Amino acid sequence: MGILATSDNEGKGKSRRPQGQATKKKPNPKASQNQVGDALRSVYQQTIDEEVPQDFLDILGKLA
């Protein structure tokens, strides 16, 4: 049975990152909600601004 050599930092709960690798930022739920809200408002406004197709208006006219 062989003996494994360990460094002083191993096994003490310290994680090691490869050099040059940035830490990941935790996502900000409030910022994500704001982005989703902005996107929904934009799509809604585009829908409101869209013209009603003439064919649809003709069909509605026949129902009246």
Tell me: pLDDT of 39 over 70: yes
Does 55 map to a domain? Answer: yes
Tell me: pLDDT of 56 over 90: yes
Does 44 map to a domain? Answer: yes
Q: Which alpha helices (H) appear in the chain, and where do they start and end?
A: 29-49, 54-63
Does 37 map to a domain? Answer: yes
The boundaries of the domain holding residue 51 are 29-63
Does 38 map to a domain? Answer: yes
Q: Given pLDDT bands bounded at 50, 70 and 90, which one contains residue 57? A: very high
Does 53 map to a domain? Answer: yes
Mean pLDDT (the chain, rounded): 81
Does 15 map to a domain? Answer: no
CA 47/CA 52 separation, integer angstroms: 10
Q: What pLDDT is attached to residue 13?
A: 57
Does 4 map to a domain? Answer: no
Percent share of the chain, pLDDT over 70? 66
Q: What is the tally of structural domains in the chain?
A: 1
- Give per-residue pLDDT as tens, 7-30: 555 555 555 666 766 678 777 888
